[in-house]
Structure 1
Amino acid sequence: MERREVAAVLTYVGRLDPRLVRTDEGEARSQLGTWHELLSDVPTTTSQGWDVRETARKRIVTSPYPILPADVAREWQAHRRERLARHTDPTPRADPDNPQAWRAELLAARDAVASGHAAPSAHRELTAGRHRPSLKDQLAAVGSYIPAAVRAELAPYRPARAAREAVIAAGGPDVLAVPCEWCHADQGEPCRRRRINLDGSAQGNAPRATAHPGRVDRALAAQAQAPAA
């Protein structure tokens, strides 16, 4: 703040707390000098939620002691720290092979956020800046930790998973998303071959390549009830 802005703030807080009013000209000049020394780097207002008058008013309301310029300066520093804590550096548009320009743009963005001239960037902009034309295809290729070609080669050795993935790819339900009431397989587990002994007890634990019909029906019902994406 400039000296005249500090004088306006002192006039405002003096109306709210008469204890800050100085009638002697020398004391008033000394008070103005002290406040200006401590608040010279504190803005009056910013477009991002800072208002020195509101800060002073809250301090006067919550504290029984006369407000000091250091109280306002500490609130401004806390405001700056809070904004920078919510800021994640967006990728600079400068050429990464030019470290001086890259660093200068990064520091300028942080300074704009800290001073209240720009809003914090809430998410890391990993895809900001220039893009290679082939980047989209590369991202699609690495979307799964198992490439599509390798998954196809593994299909004969994972019949249950291959059958499930084929059904899902065709728009069918994910049968493993629901438990099986017949073989009591939990959600995410494949169905088991359940054989019944003469005494009525169940036996057998071999996994099935396909789900039991009742589980498929339950998966279809769950898919029909699910909200459209």
Structure 2
Amino acid sequence: MDRREIAAILAYIGRLDPRTVRTDTGEARDQIAQWHELLHDVPLTTNHGWDVRQAIRAHVLASPYPILPVDVGRRWHAYCRDRLDRHTDPTPSADPDDPGAWRAELLATRHAVAAGMAEPSAHRKITAGGPHPDIETRLAAIGSCIPAAVRAELAPYRPARAAREAAVAAGQPDALSVPCQWCRAARGEPCRSRRIGPDGRARGNAPRATPHPTRVDLAAAGLAAA
């Protein structure tokens, strides 16, 4: 803001909070100089949500203290940070083999977003829509989003899941589809090896790679009943 805009803003503040009014010419001149020194890089308004009058009005309504230029400056910097937090750098149109031009375009775009001259680019945000039709077609064709080769490589690191998938592939019942009555494992969770000490308390609770036989029988009975 230039000095004329600062003077107009101080007059606006004086109407909202008469405590800030300076009747002496010298004091008023010093007040304008102080505000201009701290807020010369803060715009009066932007096309994308910033209006210094709204920031002043919010402060007057929320605080019992007279507004200071630093209060306006902090709100402006918070506005800039919020916009940059919502911004995703679009791919520059500059030649990627020219690092200087590439970096200059990125910085110019970020400056325009922070200064309220351009809207944040959020083209990578997660949408509420479902997957793309091509993805659904491919998943229907392969049956899973994890390729078979990758699933085989992961099997040693998740033995319970591998045993479950192998049982289902062989036409056997999915034991983890029912809770275990032996170790009290919930549906979908692997069974636990519970060792009981002489005092009757459990001494171990390590997960098992294979489910308990009673759980397999219970799943088989449910499959037969279906």
TM-score normalized by the length of structure 2: 0.58
2:132 aligned residue: none
2:128 aligned residue: none
1:93 aligned residue: 92
Relative to 1, partners in 2 of residues 1:67 and 1:215: Cα closer, same or farther, differing over 3 Å? Answer: same
SS at match of 2:116: coil
Shift of 1:45: 2.4
* Cα pair 2:164 2:174 within 8 Å, conserved: no
Q: Give distance in 1, aligned partners of 2:224 and 2:11.
A: 72
* Cα pair 1:177 1:219 within 8 Å, conserved: no
Deviation per CA, 1:103-139, whole angstroms, max 9, x where unpaired? Answer: 12221222122112344456867xxxxxxxxxxx9xx
Shift of 1:41: 0.8
Q: Give distance in 1, aligned partners of 2:165 and 2:104.
A: 52
Question: How is 1:188-227 mapped onto 2 (pairs within 5 angstroms)?
Answer: 188-189=189-190, 207=210, 212=216, 214-215=218-219
Residue 21 in structure 1 maps to residue 21 in structure 2: yes
Number of residue pairs matched?
A: 184
2:168 aligned residue: 164
2:76 aligned residue: 76
Relative to 1, partners in 2 of residues 1:161 and 1:114: Cα closer, same or farther, differing over 3 Å? Answer: same
Gaps (5+ residues) in structure 2?
126-137, 156-161, 192-207
Deviation per CA, 1:184-215, whole angstroms, max 9, x where unpaired? Answer: 6833438xxxxxxxxxxxxxx9958x984752
Gaps (5+ residues) in structure 1?
126-136, 168-172, 191-204, 222-229
Aligned AA (1:77) = H
Q: Give distance in 1, aligned partners of 2:37 and 2:223.
A: 71
Shift of 1:9: 1.1
Q: Give distance in 2, aligned partners of 1:64 and 1:153.
A: 65
Deviation per CA, 1:159-205, whole angstroms, max 9, x where unpaired? Answer: 752342587xxxxx966344255x76833438xxxxxxxxxxxxxx9
Relative to 1, partners in 2 of residues 1:178 and 1:83: Cα closer, same or farther, differing over 3 Å? Answer: farther
Aligned AA (1:38) = L
1:57 aligned residue: 57
Shift of 1:42: 0.7
Q: Give distance in 1, aligned partners of 2:26 and 2:96.
A: 56
Relative to 1, partners in 2 of residues 1:150 and 1:118: Cα closer, same or farther, differing over 3 Å? Answer: closer
Shift of 1:76: 1.6
SS at match of 2:111: helix
Relative to 1, partners in 2 of residues 1:219 and 1:5: Cα closer, same or farther, differing over 3 Å? Answer: farther
SS at match of 2:113: helix
Q: Give distance in 2, aligned partners of 1:42 and 1:6.
A: 10
Report % sequence identity. Answer: 54
SS at match of 1:23: coil
Shift of 1:14: 0.7
SS at match of 1:31: helix
* Cα pair 2:163 2:210 within 8 Å, conserved: no
Aligned AA (1:107) = L
**Relative to structure 2, which stretch is displaced further, 35-44 or 23-32?**
23-32
SS at match of 2:89: coil
Relative to 1, partners in 2 of residues 1:220 and 1:105: Cα closer, same or farther, differing over 3 Å? Answer: farther
Shift of 1:2: 2.8
Relative to 1, partners in 2 of residues 1:14 and 1:216: Cα closer, same or farther, differing over 3 Å? Answer: farther
Aligned AA (2:190) = E
1:10 aligned residue: 10
Q: Give distance in 1, aligned partners of 2:4 and 2:165.
A: 75
